[in-house]
Amino acid sequence: MIPHRDRALIGAVLDVLVPADAEPSATNAGVLEWLDARASTVHADLWRDVLTSGFDALAAEPGPVDERLLRELEHASTREGWPVSPERFVAALVRLAAHAWYGRRDSPAWRSMGYAPGPKRTPGAPVRHATLQRTPLAQVAASYDVVIVGAGAGGGVAARVLAGAGAGVLIVERGRFLSYAEVGRDHLAHHRFPAYGHNTGPDDPAEPRVHVPPGGPERMVGHAYEPEWHNNAMTVGGGTRVYQGMAWRFHPDDFRMASRYGVPDGSSLADWPLTYDDLEPFYARAEWELGVCGDGHAHRVQGRRSVDYPMPPLPDNLEASVLRAGAQALGLATGPVPLLINSRPRDGRAACVRCGECIGFACPTDAKNGTHNTALPRAMATGACTLATGIRAERVLVDGAGRATGVAVVDLATGARREIAAGAVVVCAGAIETARLLLASATDAHPDGLGNRSGHVGRHLQGHLYVGAFGLFDEPVQDMYGPGVSIATTDFMHDLGEEGIGGGVLANECVKVPAIFWHWALAPDTPRWGRAGKQAVREAFLRTGHVFGPIQEIPSPACRVSLAHHVRDAQGNAAARLSGELHPESARAGRALQARARQWMQASGATRVWCDPEPIPRRLTGGQHQAGTARMGNDPATSVTDPYGRVHGHRGLWVMDGSLHVTNGSVNPVLTIFALAYRCAEELARASVA
């Protein structure tokens, strides 16, 4: 319940922020009750620090509480009689009112702005959601041929290959298996907009992490949904449970960045120990086994392909046709975005119904292909693969010669601990937790952690800086056909000339849910509340276009996962400490790609164009595209693993996730993670037989 006596005043303020027009006002739409439900939990600190004293001060203001007064307060950092900043008070209230107004399911705002989630076509086959059998820790055997840590992108593929080759495999996954209903459709608490939590693991409150922003000081981060925690998704499937499924192959030059561009000061830019051609057969295998839709001939700038995609692309949405015309005017080649989505029924599962609630959510027809519904069920169907969830690996065990002998795990629900023996250990815990686990597995003989003789474990942490441009058009450019991401150009992957090293792909965006649109996509000086604010959203929602994309990051050794021994999780393990900042060359390339995005919007007919982010932030990346912390290489002095993911100096210890990436590409990373995992796991299967 709201901890303030004057509900009439609060209601009056909310009705100024969200007044009645053709739609109901905030109080008539239940916003007060929504605030009541959160006042003692997620908003408790805000009421204590800002809102309660702000409402007291507001009650003492002479004259009516109306739009004029709120606009005055909105621009006042201090004011006589106000113990809190009026500006901060109004900003906080505006944000809460917007969350309640735009973010609640089936808000009246959705209809009037034109947001229409739900199936736009039939699934073409019965809808069947994959499910997987889990084995409690007590029933897990004493030893396995292979123990895989993490059932995400890399771990799922590794399990598929190794169990398929006849190895007895145990996967320990710290997250839970989440059904479609459990992932849910909360627009304010999902992986794209985690304002009130997220919809996969880790459960809240999460174990702490320590974040050191540029210039410090360090801060403990206790909620995994805070951006500084750099979460991906901790559940069966890892990030693939809720991802968008953009399935790009890296460009051949992405594997030889140092040779092509030289090594910028302060960076650890390096070539991969393998080429695009080495990985090509595994890209093809990932596309066919997991299921990608696309057009293999569409993009001008791409590596050689041995085979087309197994499914045709999803049809264009409206925005794609508008942007295609603009690209043609600029001489840019475009094509559909390859997606790990069934464009037609496949593999016993239905097709995408184009619902428009895609990225950050699970798929209502299970047409989005992650490891939870492809590689993992196939691994388990062999009968040779056991999945234990809610189990966290705390240490990799090694013998006196440094050979991996198993893992020490803890059951997160009961606190029970066990050691499980293994012929080989494959670490696939995501770039932050893989580094943390290798570091935490230090022994007297390996005091700095496993594979860390040369000090590279945890360094070179990178993700993707995203840049782009919005455009406001005279006519609607959005038709609500999901997933929304539909057209891209690869022309700028390595074509920024003197303006930057590397580059990136530019694509339009997935359908924006209304709360995200309000936060992110309104032009800078647009009114955000009041009658004018409501009208602005209604008028802009369908008329706003957006292109953006990831920039190839220039890695730096200072971007780093280390252990914070002074901060511990509930089981007593040292927390991950994340430090470093974006390399200036990444920012420079980001500005150059942003300029290309702006031109594309203008050429497509936008009457107003603005860039995002503005200015480019220096902060550490990582998060959903985290990579690089156990980079592969030929030389143990400059890398953590060999070109197959074998950790230098430790027989039987392998890494097969995004940590291996020497550079993280000019596109989204997951198809490369899948391809590498196929290649490395095949090598392990071969090595075990030999």
Q: Which residues bind ligand FAD (CB under 6 A)?
A: 149-155, 172-175, 191-192, 201, 232-235, 238-240, 242-246, 359-360, 392-393, 428-430, 433, 437, 624-625, 657-658, 668-670, 673
Q: How far is the CB of 52 from ligand FAD (least distance, A)?
A: 35
Q: Which is nearer to ligand FAD, 239 or 503 (CB)?
A: 239
Whether the Cβ atoms of residue 443 and residue 405 lie closer than 8 Å to each other: no
Query: Which residue from 111, 115, 49, 117 is spatially nearest to 84, judged by alpha carbons?
Result: 49
Q: Per the structure block, which two tokens stand in for 338?
A: 């390859």
Q: Which is nearer to ligand FAD, 203 or 295 (CB)?
A: 203
User: Which residues, 6 or more positions from 514, have their beta carbon under 8 angstroms from its beta carbon?
Assistant: 102, 103, 107, 109, 110, 113, 115, 187, 537, 541
Which residue's entry shows tokens 């594309």? 600
In angstroms, give the least distance from the CB of 24 to ligand FAD.
Answer: 32
If the CB atoms of residues 27 and 562 are measured against ligand FAD, the closer one turns out to be: 562
Residue 98 amino acid letter: A
Beta-strand relationship, 544-551 and 506-508: antiparallel
Q: How far is CA 466 from CA 164, 188, 257, 484, 545, in A?
A: 38, 21, 19, 17, 16
User: CB-wise, 242 or 551, nearer to ligand FAD?
Assistant: 242
Cis peptide before 19 (omega within 30 of 0): no
Q: Which residue from 9, 67, 10, 66 is spatially nearest to 34, judged by alpha carbons?
A: 10
**Shortest Cβ 573–ligand FAD spacing (Å):** 9
Which residues, 6 or more positions from 346, have their beta carbon under 8 angstroms from its beta carbon? Answer: 291, 310, 311
Q: Quick one: 67 or 203, whose CB is closer to ligand FAD?
A: 203
Least separation in angstroms between residue 655's CB and ligand FAD is 10
Amino acid at 167: A
Cα of first residue to Cα of last residue in the chain, in angstroms, is 66
Distance of closest approach, residue 236 Cβ to ligand FAD, in angstroms: 7
Instruction: Give the orientation angle of helix 86-103 with respect to helix 52-59, to 10 degrees.
Output: 110
Shortest Cβ 25–ligand FAD spacing (Å):
34
How many CB atoms are closer than 10 A to CB 323? 32
Q: Given the complex with ligand FAD, which of 228 and 657 has the nearer CB atom?
A: 657
Q: Indicate the residue among 2 and 151 with the shorter CB distance to ligand FAD.
A: 151
Rounded-to-integer distance, Cα 594 and Cα 610, Å: 10
Please, which residues have CB within 8 angstroms of residue 36's CB and are 6 or more apart in sequence?
A: 1, 2
CB of residue 195 vs ligand FAD: minimum separation in angstroms? 14
- Our CB check for ligand FAD shows the closer of 358 and 542 to be 358
Q: How far is the CB of 150 from ligand FAD (least distance, A)?
A: 3
Least distance to ligand FAD from the beta carbon of 190, Å?
Answer: 8
Q: Which residue has the tokens 């990831």?
A: 550
Q: Is residue 147 classed as helix, strand or coil in its secondary structure?
A: strand
Any idea what DSSP says for residue 201? B
Q: Per DSSP, which regions of 208-291 are E strands?
A: 209-212, 219-221
Beta-carbon contacts of 343 under 8 Å, excluding residues fewer than 6 positions away, are: 293, 311, 312, 313, 314, 351, 352
Residues whose CB falls within 8 Å of the CB of residue 274, separated by 6 or more in sequence, listed in order: 255, 632, 643
CB of 485 to ligand FAD, least distance (A): 8
Q: How far apart are CA 659 and CA 436, in angstroms?
A: 11
SS (H, E, C) 316-329: CCHHHHHHHHHHHH
Closer to ligand FAD by CB, 70 or 407: give it.
Answer: 407
Q: Which helix (H) or strand (E) holds 418?
A: strand 417-427
Per-residue CA distances from 238 to 176, 199, 209, 225, 578 (Å):
10, 12, 19, 15, 20
Nearer to ligand FAD, 232 or 405 (CB): 232
Provide the minimum distance between the beta carbon of 365 and ligand FAD in the complex, in angstroms, as a whole number: 18
Check residue 347 and report its DSSP letter. T
Residue of minimal CB distance from ligand FAD? 152
In the bound state with ligand FAD, the residue whose beta carbon lies nearer, of 534 and 625, is: 625
Report residue 568 as tokens: 């511990």
CA distance 644 to 654: 8
Return the closest-CA partner of residue 236 out of 371, 328, 143: 371
CA atoms within 13 A on the CB side of 242: 32
What interhelical angle do 530-540 and 7-17 show, nearest 10? 40
Nearest distance from residue 153's CB to ligand FAD, in Å? Answer: 3
Backbone angles phi, psi at 424, to 5 degrees: -150, 145
Q: How far is the CB of 364 from ligand FAD (least distance, A)?
A: 16
Which neighbouring-strand residues pair with 396?
Answer: 407
Structure tokens at 435: 């580094």
152 or 377: CB nearest ligand FAD:
152
Shortest Cβ 157–ligand FAD spacing (Å): 8
Q: Are 421 and 405 in contact (CB under 8 A)?
A: yes
Q: Cβ 668 to ligand FAD, closest distance in Å? A: 3
Let me know: does 78 contact 85? Beta carbons within 8 Å.
yes
Least CB distance to ligand FAD at residue 386 (A): 14
E strand or H helix that includes residue 599 = helix 584-603
Min CB(321)–ligand FAD separation in Å: 22
Query: Which tokens hold the place of 395?
Result: 């240490």
